[in-house]
């Protein structure tokens, strides 16, 4: 079986040869910006939007990737094409970008980029099994004890790999329920986001999601807002408190791998009637229609033995 090729600093190399220095700022400082895109039926989804967000993160963090967005797109597609034959017909993949400031030099000023950035681009199989059952029964959303790093310290719109705060918050949530999905509040107690996703509540037929003052401007969040406009579902950005999630008719997370993940319990209480709601279903169906693939069906198929699939 041929091995995966990854893009490392301008070259396509076998995964086993893709090594970086232990002195890289990715390792020493968590000083890395990132993107995660997915494919649908082997076609990258909104790759240009992900790369546009990547270049905003690069600008704000003052990392020079050594190329412009158009070149980054071309290099990404070359890497993806080189690995296309490894994709099983019914599966899809991640396309991940990690770009660090490069070699970190110990001393009084770690901020200066001393040499080329470390540019890493690779594909990964998209394993949806951990989310598959939530499309039908919904997940349990639980608030973490820890709060978001405030945007006054690190703007939540910078998609970065300094993930300690998110990881600790998710560990707290898993103490309550090992299958729970975290809801992180900001320092004022407003709903911010999940460690890897955004949140939406539906109340009185209106879709509500926090503005991006305290969360990542998710591409899936953006897609849901586009679909809502097409379906004429009223939607608005607004502050949400835990009270709004307890009393919502429907609740869901959005993120690149699973797209829309319904939540039917919040901190132990049923959301609405405790079942996945009609607005959530309409949005997920519209997304599936847009990409020509049954999103939930693909995830469920991964739970089945190879060779069997949903009709």
Ligand X SMILES: Cc1ncc(COP(=O)(O)O)c(C=O)c1O
Beta carbon nearer to ligand X, 216 or 284: 216
Nearer CB in complex with ligand X: 215/295: 215
State the nearest-atom distance from the C-beta of 146 to ligand X, in Å. Answer: 14
Q: Report, in Å, the least distance between residue 49 CB and ligand X.
A: 8
The nearest distance, CB 115 to ligand X, in angstroms, is 28
Smaller CB separation from ligand X, 195 or 265: 195
Nearer to ligand X, 5 or 201 (CB): 201
**Rounded to the nearest whole angstrom, what is the least distance from the CB of residue 288 to ligand X in the complex?**
16
> Which residue lies nearer to ligand X by CB, 76 or 104?
76
Which is nearer to ligand X, 5 or 99 (by Cβ)?
A: 99
Residues that bind ligand X (CB under 6 A): 36, 193, 195-198, 215-216, 218-221, 254-256
Least spacing, CB of residue 144 vs ligand X, in Å: 13
Q: For residues 161, 166, 167 and 170, what is the CA-based torsion angle, rounded to 10 degrees?
A: -150
At its nearest, how many Å lie between ligand X and the CB of residue 35? Answer: 8
Residue with tokens 């319990």: 265
Return the number of the residue (5 or 257) whose C-beta is nearest ligand X.
257
SS (H, E, C) the chain: CCCCEEEECCEEEEHHHCCCCCCEHHHHHCCEEEEEEEEECCEECCHHHHHHHHHHHHHHHCCCCCCCHHHHHHHHHHHHHHHHHHCCCCCCEEEEEEEECCECCCCCCCCCCCCCCEEEEEEEECCCHHHHCHHHHCEEEEECCCCCCCCCCCCCCCCECCCHHHHHHHHHHHHHCCCCEEEEECCCCCEEEECCEEEEEEECCEEEECCCCCCCCCHHHHHHHHHHHHCCCCEEECCCCHHHHHCCCEEEEEECCCEEEEEEEECCEECCCCCCCHHHHHHHHHHHHHHCCCHHHHHHHCCCCCCCCCC
Least Å distance, CB 193 to ligand X, is: 5
């Amino acid at each position: 079986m041929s091995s995966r090729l990854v893009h490392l600093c301008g070259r396509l190399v076998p995964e086993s040869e893709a090594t970086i220095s232990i002195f890289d700022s990715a390792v020493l400082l968590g000083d890395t910006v990132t993107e995660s895109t997915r494919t649908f039926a082997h076609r990258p989804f909104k790759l240009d939007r992900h790369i546009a967000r990547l270049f905003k993160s690069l600008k704000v963090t003052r990392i020079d990737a050594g190329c412009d967005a158009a070149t980054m797109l071309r290099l990404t597609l070359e890497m993806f094409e080189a690995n296309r034959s490894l994709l099983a017909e019914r599966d899809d993949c991640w396309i991940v970008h990690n770009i660090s400031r490069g070699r970190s030099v110990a001393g009084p000023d770690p901020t200066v980029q001393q040499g080329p950035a470390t540019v890493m681009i690779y594909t990964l199989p998209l394993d949806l099994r951990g989310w598959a059952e939530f499309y039908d029964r919904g997940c349990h959303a639980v608030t973490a004890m820890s709060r978001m790093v405030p945007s006054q310290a690190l703007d939540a719109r910078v998609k970065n790999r300094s993930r300690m705060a998110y990881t600790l918050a998710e560990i707290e949530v898993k103490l309550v329920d090992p299958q729970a999905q975290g809801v992180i509040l900001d320092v004022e107690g407003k709903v911010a986001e999940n460690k890897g996703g955004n949140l939406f509540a539906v109340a009185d037929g209106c879709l509500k999601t926090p503005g991006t003052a305290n969360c990542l401007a998710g591409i899936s969040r953006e897609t849901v807002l586009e679909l809502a406009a097409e379906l004429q579902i009223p939607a608005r950005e607004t502050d949400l408190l835990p009270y709004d999630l307890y009393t919502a008719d429907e609740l869901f997370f959005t993120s690149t791998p699973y797209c829309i993940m319904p939540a039917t319990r919040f901190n132990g209480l049923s959301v609405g009637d405790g079942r996945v709601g009609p607005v959530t279903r309409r949005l997920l169906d519209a997304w599936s229609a847009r990409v020509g693939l049954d999103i939930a069906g693909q995830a469920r198929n991964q739970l089945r033995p190879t060779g069997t699939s949903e009709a």
